[in-house]
A and B are shown apart, each in its own frame.
Chain A
C-alpha cells in the first residue's frame, strides 16, 4: 500500500487515473450505444500500433501537438494561458509556405530559413498578445482568441491570392522540395533506394508509405530544451517568478512587462515551429483553404494539461493523444463506432486531468487507513 501511496503522490498519478477513468466512461458509453468495448479498445490499439506504418503515423500525428503542448505548458508555467497556440500554429504554416515557395536555396540553407520563418510568424503573434497584456493589461485569453481568427482568415487569404494559389485546387502552391524534412526523402524514391528497401518489408513500409520526418525528434529536443530553460536558467527563474507572483517579482527588481512579452514570444515561436515542421515534413507541403480550425493548438492545450504542464510530460501525453485520434479512426472503420465516442473518451480524459486533487485525495485515504492500523497495532503492542 505504501508503494501505491507513493505512486499516487507522484507526478504521473493524476494522468494515469484520468486515462483510466476516461476509458471507463468510454466503455460505458460504448455499451450504452450497443458496441463491444473490449473489441473497440482492441481495434483502437491495433489501429494505432498494429503495423509499422501505423506506429510511424502516430508519431507524425504527435509531432505538432507535442510542440503546441510544450508551447501551452511553457506559457502556463510563467502564469499565462496561451489559448492562441492555434493561431500561432497557423501563422507558422503560412509563413513557412510563403518563404518555402518564394525561396529556393540549397537544402542545408533552405530548411533552416523556412523553419525560422515559421517560428518568427508564431513568435510575432505571441509577442503581440504579450505586449497588449504588458502595455495595456488586456487579458491574453481574449486577444489570443481574436488572433486565432486573424491567422485563420489570413491563411485563407494567402491560399486564394494570385501569387500563391495553385490553380484548380483548394490549396496554395507547395513549397520547393529543398525545404523537405522527410528522413531519406529523396533516396527512398530513387532506384537504388527502392532496390535496397525491396528486401526489407518493414523499413519499406515505414519509409515509403508514410511521411516519416525529423519533426518528432526535433520536437522532443525542443521539449527538453524548454524544460531546461525553465528549471535551470536565470531566464526561466525570472519567468516562473513573474508567473507565480507578479508583485513580488516586480518588488525584487524583475521586469514583469518584458518577461510577459518574452514568455509569449517563446510560446508563440514554439507553436509557429510546429506549423513550419508540418509544412516541411508532411504532404501536401502547403496550406489549404480552412473551413474550420484544425485544432492543433487546441489539442496542444489538452496535451499540456494531461502532462500537468510539464514540458517533458508532453512527450508521452502527445503520443497517447495521437494514438487515440489515429487509432480511433480504425475503430470507426472496423466496428462502425462513431468517431464521436472516441472524442468523448478524449474529452473525459482531459476533464479528469483537470482535477489535480484527485490522486492526492486517494493517497490521503490510503495513508489514513495505514495510520489507523499502525495506531491500533501500536496500542496493542504497548498493552502487551
Chain B
C-alpha cells in the first residue's frame, strides 16, 4: 500500500523474531485517520507484539513505520508518546490509592517554580479534558473506589493528557460488563468525531462489528489482509482468523434431564469482608442438563462456586450432591462426591504453572492407586496417561507432557484443565467462566465438550458473565442478582433484553 498522509499509522513489512521463532512475518497495517481500526487474531497470533512495536516496547527486525505519511523511528515509549501514540493496556497501570487526577498527571506532573507540584492547575487541566470528551469521571475520586469501566476511562484520559492522536486499546472489553462495553463504544465513536484515531486489539467478533470501520487480520504471525467491516460478517471474520470454517452457533439436541444431582437450599455465604454475597439461594441441577447462571460479575457467582467446592464457609443452608451433605466439608470431599470444577481463574486456581503438563493432569487424582501404590508416584504412568489426554483433547503442542505448563498457550492450558476435570468422569461438572480469554476456535471446543458431557449424563452448572454464552449453551437459564436466583427459564423462552433487565435488578412485567 502507498504511503500517504491519509493514514495515521502505516506499518509495512514488519518482521519480529524471538530466537528461532518468528512472531511476525511481514505484517502490514494501514490505519486511516479518524477511523476505528481493529486488529483481529487468535491468542498468540502476534497482535500485541505488533502493537508493542508501534509503542516502542519492541524493535522490529525488519520493516518501516510511517506516521501521517512520514517515516518514524520509535525505539521507546517516550518517542511513541512524542509521535502522538497512546496505549491502554489490558491490565490497567494505575496507582490504586491515588486520585484520578494524580494518576493522570503521574510522570508528567505540572510543576510551578522550584519544582513544586501545582495540583490546582493539574486538576483544572484534567477537568477541561473530562469536559471536552464528556467522560463521566470524578477527578478527585480514588482509583480503588471507582468501577472498572471508569478506571479504563482514566487510562484513556492519561493517554489524551499526553497529547495522543492515535489510541491503542489492548483487549479493552475483557473486563467490562455489557453496559460498560456499550458506553466504551460510544466513547470511541465520540473520540473519532473529535479527530482521534483508534486501534483496538481484540478477538471478539461482535464488538468489531459494532465499533470498527476496518479490520486487519493476523493468523500465526502472518498478515491475512484487511476487511471492510460494513461489508463483512462475523462468520467471514472468524474463518479468516482461524483459517477454517467456524461454527459460531452452538449445535445441540434437546436435553433429557434425569435425577437431581446438585441440590442447594437456602444457601447464604459471606465474603472475606463479612458481607453476604449469596443470600438464601436455591438451585437444582439435574443429570443430563446444562444449567447456566447469567449475571453481572460480583453478584455472588464466585462465592456460590466457593461454597460448593468448599473453599468458602457457608453461613446457613444446605448443599447436597446426590443426597449427600456437602455443606462445610473440604474440597477433597466435594471432589470425591463426584464434583469437578473448571475454575474462573485458571492461573490462580486451576494450574501449577511450574509443574510439567503431566504433573498437572493428576492434581486431584495423584492419590489414586492407579498412579502408584504406597507412597510413590508413578511418573511413567503419569506420562502415559497424559499422552492419552493430549490426543483425546487435542492439547498442543503434541507430545508436551514433559513441558512446563507455563509454556502452553492460554487455550491449551484451559484444554488441559478441561481434560483433567472431564477425565475424572464427574457426576457434576461446574464450568465457571470456561471460555474466559479464549479465541473462537477454543470456545467452540469448550462448548462442544460441555454438551458432549451433558449427553453422557453429567449434570453441568455453567456460570458465565458472557450472556450470549449462557443463552446459547444452557438448557435452563437462571439469573443471579445480589446473591439470589431471580428467575429460571427453559432455553428459548426468554430473550436478551428480559435477561438483561433481571441481571440489572429489574422485574419482568
- Identify B376's interface contact among A233, A238, A245, CB under 8 A: A233
Most buried by A among B20, B336, B341, B375: B375
A240–B356 alpha-carbon span in the complex (Å): 12
Q: Is the CB of B19 within 8 A of A367?
A: yes
Q: Is the CB of B376 within 8 A of A251?
A: no
A255–B377 alpha-carbon span in the complex (Å): 18
Give the shortest distance, in Å, between A263 (CB) and chain B (any CB).
Answer: 16
Band of interface residues on B: 20 to 34
Q: Is the CB of A371 within 8 A of B311?
A: no
Does B52 sit within 8 A of A, measured CB to CB? no
Chain A proximity mask over B334-378: 1 for CB below 8 Å, otherwise 0: 111000010100001111111100010001101100001001110
User: Using a CB-CB cutoff of 8 Å, which residues 213-271 of chain A contact chain B?
Assistant: 232-238, 240-241, 244-245, 247-255
A-B residue pairs in contact (CB < 8 Å), sample of 7: A234-B377, A235-B375, A245-B348, A250-B311, A255-B332, A367-B19, A368-B19
User: Which B residues lie within 8 Å of A245 (CB)?
Assistant: 348, 351-353
What secondary structure prevails in chain A residues at the interface with B?
Answer: helix
User: Which B residues lie within 8 Å of A250 (CB)?
Assistant: 311, 331
Q: Is the CB of B351 within 8 A of A248?
A: yes
User: Which B residues lie within 8 Å of A232 (CB)?
Assistant: 376-377, 379
Q: Is the CB of A252 within 8 A of B335?
A: yes
Does B330 sit within 8 A of A, measured CB to CB? yes
Given A244-B354, A247-B348, A248-B350, 4 more contacts at CB 8 Å?
A: A245-B352, A247-B349, A249-B352, A249-B363
Q: Is the CB of A244 within 8 A of B375?
A: no
Give the shortest distance, in Å, between B363 (CB) and chain A (any CB).
Answer: 4
Does B101 sit within 8 A of A, measured CB to CB? no
A76–B413 alpha-carbon span in the complex (Å): 26
Does B327 sit within 8 A of A, measured CB to CB? no
- Identify A244's interface contact among B331, B335, B341, B355, CB under 8 A: B355
Q: Is the CB of B366 within 8 A of A238?
A: yes
User: Which A residues lie within 8 Å of B334 (CB)?
Assistant: 253
Chain A contact residues, CB within 8 Å of chain B: 232-238, 240-241, 244-245, 247-255, 364, 367-368, 371
User: Which A residues lie within 8 Å of B309 (CB)?
Assistant: 251
User: Which B residues lie within 8 Å of A238 (CB)?
Assistant: 366
Chain A proximity mask over B297-328: 1 for CB below 8 Å, otherwise 0: 00000000000010100000000000000000
Most buried by B among A236, A238, A244, A367: A244
- Identify A233's interface contact among B355, B364, B377, CB under 8 A: B377
Q: Is the CB of B351 within 8 A of A253?
A: no
User: Which B residues lie within 8 Å of A244 (CB)?
Assistant: 352-355
Nearest CB in chain A to that of B346: its residue = A248
- Identify A237's interface contact among B336, B348, B354, B366, CB under 8 A: B366
A135–B352 alpha-carbon span in the complex (Å): 23
Q: Is the CB of B311 within 8 A of A233?
A: no
Q: Is the CB of A252 within 8 A of B363?
A: yes
User: Using a CB-CB cutoff of 8 Å, which residues 454-506 of chain B contact chain A?
Assistant: none
Q: Is the CB of A253 within 8 A of B364?
A: yes
User: Which B residues lie within 8 Å of A248 (CB)?
Assistant: 348-352, 363
A237–B351 alpha-carbon span in the complex (Å): 14
- Identify B350's interface contact among A233, A251, A253, A368, CB under 8 A: A251
Q: Is the CB of A253 within 8 A of B330?
A: yes
Chain B contact residues, CB within 8 Å of chain A: 19-20, 309, 311, 330-332, 334-336, 341, 343, 348-355, 359, 363-364, 366-367, 372, 375-377, 379
**A233-B376, A233-B377, A234-B375 known; A252-B359 Cβ under 8 A:** no
Give the shortest distance, in Å, between B350 (CB) and chain A (any CB).
Answer: 6
Give the shortest distance, in Å, between B305 (CB) and chain A (any CB).
Answer: 10
A235–B367 alpha-carbon span in the complex (Å): 9
Give the shortest distance, in Å, between A352 (CB) and chain B (any CB).
Answer: 23
Q: Is the CB of B331 within 8 A of A253?
A: yes
Give the shortest distance, in Å, between B360 (CB) and chain A (any CB).
Answer: 9
Q: Is the CB of A371 within 8 A of B19?
A: yes
Give the shortest distance, in Å, between A229 (CB) and chain B (any CB).
Answer: 9
Give the shortest distance, in Å, between A376 (CB) and chain B (any CB).
Answer: 14
Q: Is the CB of A234 within 8 A of B352?
A: no
User: Which B residues lie within 8 Å of A237 (CB)?
Assistant: 359, 366, 377
Nearest CB in chain B to that of A242: its residue = B352
- Identify B355's interface contact among A235, A241, A255, A368, CB under 8 A: A241
A234–B311 alpha-carbon span in the complex (Å): 23
A249–B349 alpha-carbon span in the complex (Å): 8
A252–B348 alpha-carbon span in the complex (Å): 12
Q: Is the CB of A234 within 8 A of B349?
A: no
Most buried by B among A240, A241, A245: A245
Nearest CB in chain A to that of B379: its residue = A232
Nearest CB in chain A to that of B367: its residue = A234
Give the shortest distance, in Å, between A26 (CB) and chain B (any CB).
Answer: 34
Give the shortest distance, in Å, between B413 (CB) and chain A (any CB).
Answer: 12
Give the shortest distance, in Å, between B59 (CB) and chain A (any CB).
Answer: 14
Nearest CB in chain A to that of B332: its residue = A253
Nearest CB in chain B to that of A234: its residue = B377
**A232-B376, A232-B377, A235-B375 known; A252-B367 Cβ under 8 A:** no
Q: Is the CB of B376 within 8 A of A234?
A: yes
Give the shortest distance, in Å, between B399 (CB) and chain A (any CB).
Answer: 20
**A234-B375, A234-B376, A371-B20 known; A252-B364 Cβ under 8 A:** yes
Give the shortest distance, in Å, between B63 (CB) and chain A (any CB).
Answer: 17
A249–B330 alpha-carbon span in the complex (Å): 13
User: Which A residues lie within 8 Å of B355 (CB)?
Assistant: 240-241, 244
User: Which A residues lie within 8 Å of B348 (CB)?
Assistant: 245, 247-248
A236–B352 alpha-carbon span in the complex (Å): 14
A241–B372 alpha-carbon span in the complex (Å): 18
Closest 4 CB pairs of A and B: A253-B332, A252-B363, A251-B349, A253-B331
Nearest CB in chain B to that of A228: its residue = B376
Nearest CB in chain A to that of B341: its residue = A251
A184–B377 alpha-carbon span in the complex (Å): 40
Give the shortest distance, in Å, between B333 (CB) and chain A (any CB).
Answer: 8
A241–B365 alpha-carbon span in the complex (Å): 13
Give the shortest distance, in Å, between B302 (CB) and chain A (any CB).
Answer: 13
Q: Is the CB of A253 within 8 A of B375?
A: no
Q: Is the CB of A251 within 8 A of B331?
A: yes
Give the shortest distance, in Å, between B502 (CB) and chain A (any CB).
Answer: 30
Most buried by A among B335, B367, B377: B377
Give the shortest distance, in Å, between B33 (CB) and chain A (any CB).
Answer: 38
Give the shortest distance, in Å, between A79 (CB) and chain B (any CB).
Answer: 10
**A232-B376, A234-B372, A253-B332 known; A241-B363 Cβ under 8 A:** yes
Nearest CB in chain A to that of B354: its residue = A244
Give the shortest distance, in Å, between B356 (CB) and chain A (any CB).
Answer: 11
Give the shortest distance, in Å, between B202 (CB) and chain A (any CB).
Answer: 29
A236–B354 alpha-carbon span in the complex (Å): 15
User: Which A residues lie within 8 Å of B349 (CB)?
Assistant: 247-248, 251
A259–B331 alpha-carbon span in the complex (Å): 15
A251–B305 alpha-carbon span in the complex (Å): 11
A123–B20 alpha-carbon span in the complex (Å): 49
A179–B134 alpha-carbon span in the complex (Å): 84
User: Which B residues lie within 8 Å of A368 (CB)?
Assistant: 19
User: Which A residues lie within 8 Å of B351 (CB)?
Assistant: 245, 248
Give the shortest distance, in Å, between B352 (CB) and chain A (any CB).
Answer: 5
A371–B359 alpha-carbon span in the complex (Å): 33
- Identify B335's interface contact among A241, A253, A255, A371, CB under 8 A: A253
Give the shortest distance, in Å, between B264 (CB) and chain A (any CB).
Answer: 20
A33–B377 alpha-carbon span in the complex (Å): 55
User: Which A residues lie within 8 Å of B359 (CB)?
Assistant: 237
User: Which B residues lie within 8 Å of A233 (CB)?
Assistant: 375-377
User: Which B residues lie within 8 Å of A371 (CB)?
Assistant: 19-20
User: Which A residues lie within 8 Å of B332 (CB)?
Assistant: 253-255
Nearest CB in chain A to that of B343: its residue = A251
User: Which B residues lie within 8 Å of A235 (CB)?
Assistant: 375
User: Which A residues lie within 8 Å of B343 (CB)?
Assistant: 251
